[in-house]
Amino acid sequence: MRSGIFLVVLLIFAPGMQENSLTIGSGQQIDPTVPLWIELPTTITRCFFFCLGNGPPTCPAGVAGTASCASSSAEKHSPAASSTKGARAPYLFRRHNGEADAESCCLGPEVTVFHSSAADSFHGRRGAISYDSSDQTALYIRMLANSEIEVSVSARNIRRLLSFQRYLRSSRFFRGITVPNSSNILDDDYNGQAKCMLEKVGNWNFDIFLFDRLTNGNSLVSLTFHLFNFHGLIEHFQLDTMKLRRFLVMVQEDYHSQNPYHNAVHAADVTQAMHCYLKEPKLSKSLTPWDVLLSLIAAVTHDLDHPGVNQPFLIKTNHYLATLYKNTSVLENHHWRSAVGLLRESGLFAHMSLENRQLMESQIGALILATDISQQNEYLSVFRTHLDRGDLCLEDASHRHFILQMALKCADICNPCRTWELSKQWSEKVTEEFFHQGDIEKKYHLGVSPLCDRQSETVANIQIGFMTYLVEPLFAEWARFSNTRLSQTMLGHLGLNKASWKGMQREQSSSGDDTDPAFEEMDSDILPQENRLS
């Protein structure tokens, strides 16, 4: 009320304020000959953009307070101040570092400053600064009269300014909350088809690509939420369904959709495969709800924030992740730490004891680390030894955990064991991701990694080698363990798919080789014992 009365008084007496002009900012005066209702919006707009830049965390309300805020911000973040050594670079928000830091938005040494020219000097000013939120390339300056204005703003601040709405969606408070809009609304037929597919989620022929289309790109969230319900985990662990959905949305967001292969659809596919393995008779009668919970979370997050390149690429480019994890299971450690960060941020298990949460985080880590393909031989050797001795006891928690590690390894590379229609799509996607890495390596003269040169490799060559040296030995041992119809079905698909690739290879190549020579250059330590090359 007071501010309203004050505004009315100013509007009434503005024309007569010839000698006592209002001072704002850094000593600039509002021209009393210009009606205040023209100057005031401009002043507030200018102050708003100062605060939206890198102003103080809090700005007092009101005209005087806002003007003061703009003044202090301009002084604090002057060009001289912004050039101070050691000043923190501005950023919108930090992601993919295990712990979200969204609240640090808009705090940095730079500030968006709009300089008026000498000719302008607030005399005859008839406009305000505005922008089109849908335009990501420029700021639009709308002037209501002919006045010159110079805009000095860094590209980073423009990006930050125009990304403010995106920041709100990605901040600690808003992350994981989906805002309904027309593009997210599916018609009844699509909803019905998606629900119908979920009823057959335990079928090995489940088409994750179709399901992703039916759910409008939300296959990971929809499928995993359904599986939590299916296994009774929500009721058993008294989970907040809103927190669960928020966690799953955050996980889905943190997969890079631009990756041809390592994206949220791959995570959903692995989760569906893991569900099929959990239903195997030998496992289902021994697993506890805790085991199932860990398995599904590990499957959902096993490739979280994957950059689309492999570990050797990160090592030879001196990536900070390679340094952080000392060149050992670099990506897997990052996936695990990222998963832990989202679990903590979502508060999904905040009602559990600290001891149980720490146990959960460590066991999820052990499951995710098992997916490191460079450790294939070690895990397979232990698995084979247990099967030879017949000493696996699923009543033992440590033995169950090891079997879940092997199950997740199988789920992670099960694409060649799917039907040809699905397997071929996955093969083309992973090969395209390999080739994209090779293109980057060529561009920067890094030396093209094995299997990544699109000029010398083919999908058929890569897949035949992958099946021969990695997939077949693993699934042969898994079939020894489970000895079910599903395990035989997977081996059957694997054989048929390999034959199909060999047929394509014969058409594409005159050499007649059944395997890709690039596999012969791989470190023999990653290959099963009987398949090591001399």
* Active-site residue list: 262
- Whether residue 302 is annotated as binding a ligand: the answer is yes
Amino acid at 303: D
Residue 356, both tokens: 């149980």
Q: What is the DSSP string of 85-98?
A: TTPPPP-S---SSS
CA distance 143 to 230: 60
- Whether residue 251 is annotated as binding a ligand: the answer is no
CA distance 357 to 342: 13
- Structure-token match 């509002």, residue found: 30
Residue 395, both tokens: 């009543």
What single-letter DSSP state applies at residue 315? H
Residue 92, both tokens: 């919108």
- Whether residue 335 is annotated as binding a ligand: the answer is no
What single-letter DSSP state applies at residue 139? -
Q: How far is CA 430 from the centre of its chain?
A: 18
Task: Please choose, from the candidates 2, 48, 53, 10, the residue with its C-alpha nearest in 3D space to the C-alpha of residue 30.
Answer: 10
CA distance 495 to 417: 8
Contacts of 71 (CB under 8 A, 6+ apart): 24, 25, 26
- Whether residue 263 is annotated as binding a ligand: the answer is yes
Length of the chain: 534
Are the beta carbons of 400 and 394 closer than 8 angstroms? yes
- Whether residue 270 is annotated as binding a ligand: the answer is no
Are the beta carbons of 327 and 310 closer than 8 angstroms? no
- Give, in order, the Cα–Cα distances in Å from 195 to each of 220, 223, 249, 254: 14, 10, 19, 25
Give backbone dihedrals phi and psi of 318, rounded to 5 degrees, phi first. 55, 40
- How many C-beta atoms surround the C-beta of residue 485 within 10 A? 10
- Whether residue 298 is annotated as binding a ligand: the answer is no
- Give, in order, the Cα–Cα distances in Å from 462 to each of 310, 430, 459: 15, 10, 5
- Structure-token match 């052990």, residue found: 366
To 10 degrees, the CA torsion angle through 358, 363, 365, 366? 150
- How many C-beta atoms surround the C-beta of residue 244 within 10 A? 21
Are the beta carbons of 409 and 477 closer than 8 angstroms? no
Q: What is the DSSP string of 331-379?
A: HHHHHHHHHHHHHHHHTTTTTS-HHHHHHHHHHHHHHHHTT-GGGHHHH
Helix axes 241-254, 289-301, angle to 10 degrees: 30
- Whether residue 265 is annotated as binding a ligand: the answer is yes
- Whether residue 463 is annotated as binding a ligand: the answer is yes
- Whether residue 191 is annotated as binding a ligand: the answer is no
Give backbone dihedrals phi and psi of 76, rounded to 5 degrees, phi first. -65, -35
CA distance 146 to 506: 73
Which residues does the annotation place in the binding site for AMP?
262-266, 303, 412, 463
Which residues does the annotation place in the binding site for Zn(2+)?
266, 302-303, 412
Which residues does the annotation place in the binding site?
262-266, 302-303, 412, 463
